[in-house]
Every structure is written in C-alpha cells, then in structure tokens.
Structure 1
Amino acid sequence: MYESYLFTLIMPAAILAYINADLGPDPKYPWITVCWNLGAAIIVTVGGRLADIFGRRWFLLTGAVSAAVGALVGATGQSINQMIVSGVLFGFGGGFQEMCFACAQELVPNRYRFATLGIMILANHVSSFGPLIGYAFITYTSIGWRACYWFCFAFESATAIMLWLFYMPPSFETKHEDDYKTKWQLVKELDHMGLWLFTAGCLLLLLGLNWASVTYPWSSAHVVAPIVIAFACFIVLGFWEVYANLKYPILPPKLFVKWREFTALLVVCFVAGMLYYSMNVLWPRQSSLLFVPAGDTIIRGVYANMVSFGTIIAGWYCVLVMPWVGHERWQLVTLICAQTALIGSMASIGINDKAQAIATVVIVAACNLPPSPLSFGMVSLGLDDQSDIGVAVGLISTFRLIGGAVATSIYVSIYTSRYQSNITPILHRLTQDTGYTGSFQALLKATAANTQATYAKVPGITPETMQAAMLAVKTSYVGAFRLVYLVAIAFGVCAIASALSTRSVEKAKKSNEQAVRLETEKENILV
C-alpha cells in the first residue's frame, strides 16, 4: 500500500509536461497533481480520526480502490479535465493510504515501532525510481505516458487484493466491545462542525496557495479571499475544539497542549515538508535548465530522480540507525541542521557546478526524510491514549503536506519574479556584442520558450546571439534559485528551534505493550 500510494504521487508529477503536450495544451494541467495534495492533506487527518472510531480496514480498502479507479481514469484519459478527475481520485485514495504509518505502528510492540517505520521507509526503493520508470515508459513503450497509469493501476489493484486477504485489524465490534455503542450512536457523537471547519480551512488554504503566482497574482481576490477565509475557519475551529463538549474532537486539545511531545513536532514536519516538496518542485526545473542536454528524455529522468536517490539512502538510515541509537530529539536536530546547511550550499550553485548540485541534492533528500518517521514514532509513543493514534499521526502528515504547498507557492513566486527582473538586463548585456540587429523585445519573448526552434524564428538572429540568449536564461535562473534557497534557510532555522524543544521518547515507553492485535492474531492466541 505504501509503495502504490507513492507511485500515484511521484509518477504523474514526473510526466506532467508530456500529458499536457498530448492532451492539451491546457493551463489547468498542473491541477492533475495539485489535486493529490489537496485531497491527501485533508483526508489523512479526517480519515485517521474516523478510522480511530470505526476501524481501519474499510478505510484502507476504500483508499486502494479509489486510487485504482483513478489510475484507470488516467490511463484512458482523453482530456486534461479527465486527468484532473484522476488526480482527485488519487488524492482521495492517497489520504486514506497515508494512514499506513499509524496502522503499522499499532500492530507491533512499542519497542519495535521505530524499527517498523524504518522498514516501511526502506521499502520505498522501488517507488524511488518512479520518475525514471516514467521516462522509460515514455521512451520505450508505444502507449507512452499512459503506461505509468496502467502501472499504478496494477499496483493499486494488488494492494486492494492483499488488504482484503491479509489485513484484519480490530473490527468495529472489537473496538467497541466495552461501550456497546452502535455505529449510529457514534455517527451522532462525531465532531461534525469540526470536520466541516477543518475540511473547509484546509481546502481553501491549499486552493489559495496553489493559485498564487501561477493562475492569479498574490493580490488577486482569488488568492486573498480563500486564504483569509481559511484562517477564519481555523480560528473558529480552535475555539470550537477547546470550548465545545466533544466526545471525539477532530483536533483533540489534549494533544496540542503537549508542546514537546506533539505540537513542536508539527512545526518540524511542516518545515520539513517545505524543504522536501520544494526540492521536488525546484530541482527538476533547475536541473533541466542548467545541466540536462536538450531532448535527452532518459537523462532528464535521471536528474529528476536525484531527490529519490536521497530517499533510498534515508531508508537505510531509518533501518540501521534510527531505531537503535535512541536520542530521537538529537537525531532530529542533527538532521535538520545538516539539511539547512546544505540548502544554503544550494544557493552557491552556478551553471558549471553540476557535481556539487547532484551531491548536495542527494544528501539534502537523505537528511530530509528521516524526521518524518522519527516524528511519527515520537508522537505515537507520546500519546496518553492510543485510540488517538490515527488522528495524531494524520495531523503530522497533513502539516507536512500543507508545508509543501506553502513552500511551493512561496518559492515559485520568488524565483518567477526574480527571473523576470533579471532576464532583461542580463540578456541585454550578453547579446549587445553578438551582432544582433533585430528587435530586443522579440528576442526577449523567445527566451520564454528557450529552444533553438523558437530563437530561429527571431528576425536578424545570429548563432552567437542564440548562444548568448540561452546563457542569459541560465544566468537569470541561477540568481533566481539562489534567492529561493537563501529564503529556505530561514525556515530551516525555525525547524531547528522546534526540534530543540522536543523530547526524546522515554525508554520505559519502548516496552512490549502492543496497542492492538489483528483479528486473526487473536484467534491464534485463543487456539
């Protein structure tokens, strides 16, 4: 399940340009992947809370089936709108499937929770090659990018079958064998107002952030209004959760008052999401502009995969180091300090610094992933009531995804505006001695596409001017990305401060106690 949900996240994002070229062009095409973040960020917390109450089996099966249907819709898609529907289904399913971190932890003795999380992270070796696999499908199969969706369909279908056959967590009857409550009684006790406020707040915030600088300017009502209304929803939600007499609050106040065991970790994961998802957005663009030969699809896939190569290294750390050394607080601090310093190193990368860029990106990604499983384990073992594990771990995932959306919006806005302010003076400086006598505005317009075919159509252009214009584009983007990485350092400092305020898990909590047992496991014990 973990692998299949990662494929639905990684592969469509890697091949987005090819989908738009085939079915578009349509300016809405980024929403094919934006919808994944929208859906998953909301569903993982809401679904986690509902699964805490009603049992997890059917929610996970719903996630797998939804994602399989989404893959089928995408594989047969004939328009960008249909592909967006596929992305919505992926996000809905992915939100339920991201509960896997809570599901796995509650099934093992507490002392093995970190080891279990490490094994899950190590298991993402296959999906880590998702971008490269996607580019290979495009290059070597007759159906091109559609093969990626059929691949996801096969994975999700296998997931659904395996969940049906083997995953038998505590049923509804088992979870409520002491209170004798019916499903209808629990439905009436749900935090309906909290669910709506949380869903509306997350949805509006993510919509506003994804529209900003891409579809509409930051000052547009389309951006400002959703963000303002979202914050109003969150403020009302906070008062509601604290002062309403709720049996099952969507955001349990008892969690948020525990700064060192919970709230500080939300901040850590929020900023970790800002660094991780920004790398997934920025690095493919940066590498394709500066280092990838034009038209070389496979090499582009290799460069796009560099972040995933770092996650492979992180998987081995999570298995061989994370569970056994303890001192989770200091692991967090060390990892976040390292990635913040290396993000600063990314600011010094120029056109000819390919080796430095590759090494830095891989190591940053390797340092960025472990704080998530560390936080999952620290939060779960810090709970007073293990029946809250779904919503607690779900909130960690939600904050990580929202952090990624915030970072993507901020970073895209920064590098776009800085590039636009850089390109005119740099282009003028580099082309003034190349013998170009045509319109400067025509040449400036051609830099938007930055291809030889586009430049060849500019009247009066010379080979020297073309080379100078391409160099001007690269130089302008180097300055734009430098500013983005310098801004990212500030967020890293916030994460370091939050990590320092956390608390390592007490050894007494790493016991042989186990939160729940599979229904089949209980049957074996009885026999």
Structure 2
Amino acid sequence: MSTEKEDVTVHEVRHVENTHANKPSTTGILEDVKGRDFTVNEAEIPPGYFRSARFIGSMFAIGSAFGCGVAGFTFAAPILAYINADIGPDPNLIWVALSYLLTSSIGLIIVGRLTDIFGRRWFFIMGNVIATLGSIVCAIAPSIPVLIAGETLVGIGASVQLSYAFVVSEIVPMKWRFLAQGYVFLWGIPFSGFAPAISYAFVFQTKVGWRGVYYLLIAVNAASTLAWFFFYKPPTFAMKHGQGRMMEFLKHFDYIGTVMVTLGLLLFLMGMSWGGTLHPWNSAHTLSAIIIGAILLTAFFLYEIFVPLREPLLPSHLFRNRGWNVSVILWSLGASTYYALAILWPSIVATLYRGNHGYMWVGWVSCLSNCGILFGEYIGAWLKCRTYIQIPIVFLIGSVLLAAMAACGPDSVVMACVLAFLATTFIGYNEILNSAVATICIDDQREIGTATGAGGSARSFISTVCSTVYTVVLSNRLAQEIPARVPAALTSAGLPASSATAFLSALTLGTPEAFAAVPGLTPALQAIGTRAYQEASAQAYKTVFLTTLAFSGVGIVVSYWCPNVDSLLVGDVTVTLGDSTTKKIDEKSQP
C-alpha cells in the first residue's frame, strides 16, 4: 500500500542512491566535489513529464531568455548611428557595443562553473532580472553614457541567458540534445535573424523610435524571468552536496583563478577592440591591455593545471579530453568565419547594393546572414548521427562558399545574396553540431556547465581575435583603395581636384545636403564617383573574404579529429525538474 511518504522526487531518489559520491578520503579532502549524480534513464521518468507545465515552462524560459540575450546586441547594433544622433553625439558610442560584448563573453565561463557547484535556479532568475533592469535603463536613457550603463547590465544578464546550451541539454535525453538546441535557435529568428529589419522598423515606422527595441526587450525579459521563477526547479545546492556545506564550498572556491581569467579576458578583449578605433594599434593603451591580458590568461591556465585546487574554475582534465577540445575549436572557428560576414554583410549591402532602395530594403537584405546561420542550425538539429562525418563536410563547404564571396562586385547582388545565405547556412550547421557534441563528449555530465561555459568563452575569445583581424584588414584595404581610385575617377571625369576630398567627406555622410556642398559636383560626376567608391570597397571586401581562408583552413584540418559520439546518444537525462518527476521507491531501493 502506498502512502505520501513513499512518493519522492527523482532528485531525492538519486540523493539516496549516491550518498557515496562525496565520501571523504583518508586525507580529509573529498574524493568527488562535483555533487551527486541525478542522471536517470528516460524509461524511469513518469509518463507526461515532457508535457508537464514545469518542463514546458522551463523550455519557454530557456528559449525566450536566449532570444533576449542575443537581441541585447543585435537590436541595437544596426541603429547605433540613429541612437547617437538622438541622444548624442558622443565619442564613446563604441562602448555601447563593447560593454555588452565584454560582460557577456567573460561571464559564460564563470556562470557555468558556479551553477554546476551551487545550483542553477537562482543564478538564472537573477540573470534575467539584471537583463530586465538593463533594458529599462536603456529604454529611458537620456544620454550615451546612461545607455552604456544599461548595456553593461544587459551584457551581464546575457552571460546567463546565453548559457542555454548546457541548461537545455541536461534536461532532455542525450539523444535529443541536437533537437533541443535547435528549438532554442528558433527563438533566434525574430531576435537575431530579423533583428536589423525590426530595428529599422522601430526607427522609421513607429513614433517610439529606437527606444521601442528596448520596450520589446523589457516585455520578453519580464516574461522569461517569471517563467524561470515558477517552472525551472533543478537540483539545489543541498541536493547536490548535502545540507550545511555551503561555507565549505565558498571557502575553497577558486577566487584567484576567477580574478585572473576575468581580468585577463577583460583586458585582452578590450585591447583588441580598442585597436584602430578608440586608440591606434601601437598606442600604450592598446598594447598594454593586450599584453597584460595575454599574460594573465596564460597564468590562469598554468595555475589551473599545476596548482592542486580543491574547486578549480576550469578543471585541468578538460584539456586532456581531445573530443571536447576539437569540438570547442571547431565551434569557435566556425563562429569566427561567420563573424566575418556578420561584420561585412550590412556594410556590403549599404555600400554596394543599396542603389535607389530605401532603408527598409537595406534592413531586410541585411537579415540574410543571420537567417542563414539560424536555418543551418535548425537543419543540423535533425541530423544527429555520424556527426564526425558531417562536421568536416559542412565546415569545408561553408568555408569555400564564404571565400567565394570574394568574386562578388557592385553588379552581383543576386550572387552575393545567395552565397551569403548558403555560406552561413553551412556554418550554422557546423555550429549546432559542435555545440551539442561539446556537451555530450565530456567525461562527467555533472560538469556540463563548466565545460560548456568554458567552450562559450573560448568561442567569444577566438571570434573576437578573428573579427579584429578582419576589421584591420578591411580598414587597411579601404585606406589604400579609396584614395587610389575615387579621386582619380572624379578628376578624369572633370571634377576639380580640390573637390575630391570634399566628395569623400560627403560619401561618409551620405546625405543630399552633403553632396550639394561639393564644389563642381554634378549628378553625372556623383554617379562616377559613387561607382569608383563601390569598386574600391569591393576590392577591400574581397581581401577580407580571402583572409577567412587562414582560419577556416585550420578548422578544416582540425575537423579530421572530430569525436564519434554515436554510442553516447542514449536516453539518459542528466537532470530532471523538481516535484513533477515523482516516482515511488520500490522495495529494493529503500534503505
């Protein structure tokens, strides 16, 4: 006969079954500080669990939070010039983007490790609260400095929101992790894929203007926060480690490593972002930030590997897992080649192909690269078997298609659009396969947050380095091609040589008033000068696309060692969600 006391959660059953997991050794140091194992097979999960309010509500929280996490940047980036015109101008405008990128990149590794140890629930609730507050600050910002403060909060929240990979992966059977991540990427369609069009629509077709994007983020962030609070109930610290041990873990946490990696990433990424924009590459600001950051990061890895830490931020055995390392490298390099197009494509559309089209045409066509990567991620989610064969193929195809865009010029808008979409589709295909494999091939699923968070930070780090290379190459080539082509074309067509500089300034502004102020400029001469500018820009873009081969070539070679995880695609669920997963302890499992 069953009683209420016989009904316990899966968490509680695992708590009893795994009390040996934290057994003290003869040295007094725990043999296993990862916490109890809550893995169950899908056959043990009660019928209806995956249709329960707790599971569906948690999936809503994960997806909507991911959408807000990416939109905190993708909504603002296309319209920064209009924001600056409204509440600026301010020379520190670049910090609107930098504050988000720095905080979100650094937070990934810390969030993963902290939530593995202390439990995820309140970290994700508070992360979304911070993102909501940041969106409110941005929505009411009267100046650029206030907007920067708001984006900093949005970035801190995004470091939690973008930690979707391990949260969604651990609550579904391992064999469905690809599809689970594919579901999350569906939320990227409006928040990333169509972000430029949505941002332009708020600016040009509504009365609220650019602030509307933040009003939208406030609403979705608030809904996501409520879903985290009411539905997401994974194992708590007490379930993982037992009652009364919080101070023990706080005492032995890796504070030194956390400070080193935080400062190292902050300084290095800041220096890379400053170079050629806020400060020259050879300036003391840029060089000192990059060098000190690199030294701190090197010291961090040596510290984690050689110092016997009780609670390392990044366990050294991850570096010995070849499959995980290969997956993270390919995940990062795939993203870095995508970022080449993410940086270039809106500029290409506006510079080479806008013609007589309006702003909304530019906004919609600028969506192609983001939509391509999301489409590829969704396609790859359905093809989970033999990923070690798929990854080298799709990585190669995506790399070749991206490099092929070097053949595009001012008259090849259709070819450019097709190649942009197809290249990012295959790169997105590569991304979902590697991001999912990185969660599967780790040795202990209790470290899924640590491993995936470290992978996410590595992705941001490598992508930032590669993006900086692309930006430097582009700026250098533009500085060579434009002065060499545009003035010569104009003067040979009859424009006074003294007016060539004024024409280049008018091109930067792009307004009819600016062109009208150029002495001697006629509509015919303006068309000649614009064409020369497009051809010069096309040559610069060509060089950048060819530069991507340097990074994609490394990825093509590394893809040879992709891990085979087919045997690991089983029905095990790493973590179940709270009280809805009740089951009875049968007689043999009772103490």
State the TM-score, normalized to the length of structure 1. Answer: 0.95
- Separation (CA, whole Å) in 2 of partners of 1:524 and 1:123: 33
Matching residue of 2:228: 163
Matching residue of 1:252: 315
Question: Which amino acid is the alignment partner of residue 279 of structure 1?
Answer: L
Unaligned 5+ segments in structure 2 are 1-64, 587-591
Q: Is 2:562 aligned against 1:502?
A: yes
Matching residue of 2:210: 145
Q: Is 2:165 aligned against 1:101?
A: yes
* 1:468-503 deviation line (CA, Å, top 9, x unaligned): 221122111111111111101111111111121221
* DSSP-derived class of the 1:17 partner: helix
Matching residue of 1:277: 339
Greater displacement, 441-450 / 491-500:
441-450
* DSSP-derived class of the 2:229 partner: helix
Given that 1:122 and 1:318 are in contact with CA atoms closer than 8 Å, whether structure 2 keeps it comes out as no
Matching residue of 1:329: 388
Q: Is 2:150 aligned against 1:80?
A: no
Given that 1:328 and 1:374 are in contact with CA atoms closer than 8 Å, whether structure 2 keeps it comes out as yes
Given that 2:106 and 2:262 are in contact with CA atoms closer than 8 Å, whether structure 1 keeps it comes out as yes
Pick closer, same or farther for the CA change 1:457–1:394 going to 2, 3 Å. Answer: same
Q: Is 2:237 aligned against 1:196?
A: no
Unaligned 5+ segments in structure 1 are none
Matching residue of 2:572: 513
CA-CA distance at 1:181 after TM superposition: 5.4
Q: Is 2:103 aligned against 1:44?
A: no
Match of 2:269 among 193, 206, 225: 206
* 1:400-444 deviation line (CA, Å, top 9, x unaligned): 222332222221211111111111221233113322225043334
- Separation (CA, whole Å) in 2 of partners of 1:364 and 1:86: 34
Given that 2:487 and 2:497 are in contact with CA atoms closer than 8 Å, whether structure 1 keeps it comes out as no
CA-CA distance at 1:236 after TM superposition: 1.0
Matching residue of 1:7: 71
Matching residue of 2:12: none
Given that 2:331 and 2:435 are in contact with CA atoms closer than 8 Å, whether structure 1 keeps it comes out as no
Match of 2:544 among 465, 476, 484: 484
Question: Which amino acid is the alignment partner of residue 228 of structure 1?
Answer: I
* DSSP-derived class of the 2:509 partner: coil
Matching residue of 1:307: 369
CA-CA distance at 1:460 after TM superposition: 2.4
- Separation (CA, whole Å) in 1 of partners of 2:309 and 2:169: 26
Matching residue of 2:48: none
The total of aligned residue pairs comes to 520
Given that 1:101 and 1:393 are in contact with CA atoms closer than 8 Å, whether structure 2 keeps it comes out as yes
- Separation (CA, whole Å) in 2 of partners of 1:51 and 1:429: 61
- Separation (CA, whole Å) in 2 of partners of 1:9 and 1:419: 26
Greater displacement, 59-68 / 128-137:
128-137
Given that 2:321 and 2:442 are in contact with CA atoms closer than 8 Å, whether structure 1 keeps it comes out as no
CA-CA distance at 1:75 after TM superposition: 0.6
Matching residue of 2:529: 469
- Separation (CA, whole Å) in 1 of partners of 2:583 and 2:367: 44
Matching residue of 2:36: none
Matching residue of 2:196: 131
Pick closer, same or farther for the CA change 1:464–1:126 going to 2, 3 Å. Answer: closer
CA-CA distance at 1:266 after TM superposition: 2.2
Matching residue of 2:297: 234
Q: Is 2:283 aligned against 1:224?
A: no
1:348-497 superposed matches below 5 A: 348-439=407-498, 440-497=500-557
Pick closer, same or farther for the CA change 1:383–1:54 going to 2, 3 Å. Answer: same
* 1:122-155 deviation line (CA, Å, top 9, x unaligned): 3433322222111111122111110000001101
Matching residue of 2:358: 296
Matching residue of 1:183: 246
Given that 2:168 and 2:180 are in contact with CA atoms closer than 8 Å, whether structure 1 keeps it comes out as yes
Question: Which amino acid is the alignment partner of residue 393 of structure 1?
Answer: T
* DSSP-derived class of the 1:25 partner: coil
- Separation (CA, whole Å) in 1 of partners of 2:150 and 2:361: 28
Given that 1:438 and 1:460 are in contact with CA atoms closer than 8 Å, whether structure 2 keeps it comes out as no
Question: Which amino acid is the alignment partner of residue 412 of structure 2?
Answer: D
- Separation (CA, whole Å) in 2 of partners of 1:465 and 1:304: 28
* DSSP-derived class of the 2:563 partner: coil
Pick closer, same or farther for the CA change 1:18–1:447 going to 2, 3 Å. Answer: closer
Pick closer, same or farther for the CA change 1:525–1:311 going to 2, 3 Å. Answer: farther
- Separation (CA, whole Å) in 1 of partners of 2:275 and 2:442: 37
- Separation (CA, whole Å) in 2 of partners of 1:195 and 1:95: 15
* DSSP-derived class of the 1:496 partner: helix
- Separation (CA, whole Å) in 2 of partners of 1:488 and 1:311: 17
Pick closer, same or farther for the CA change 1:377–1:313 going to 2, 3 Å. Answer: closer
Greater displacement, 386-395 / 128-137:
128-137
Q: Is 2:405 aligned against 1:346?
A: yes
Q: Is 2:105 aligned against 1:68?
A: no
Greater displacement, 145-154 / 459-468:
459-468
- Separation (CA, whole Å) in 2 of partners of 1:294 and 1:407: 34
Greater displacement, 326-335 / 515-524:
515-524
Given that 2:340 and 2:545 are in contact with CA atoms closer than 8 Å, whether structure 1 keeps it comes out as no
CA-CA distance at 1:338 after TM superposition: 1.0
Greater displacement, 369-378 / 104-113:
369-378
CA-CA distance at 1:371 after TM superposition: 2.5
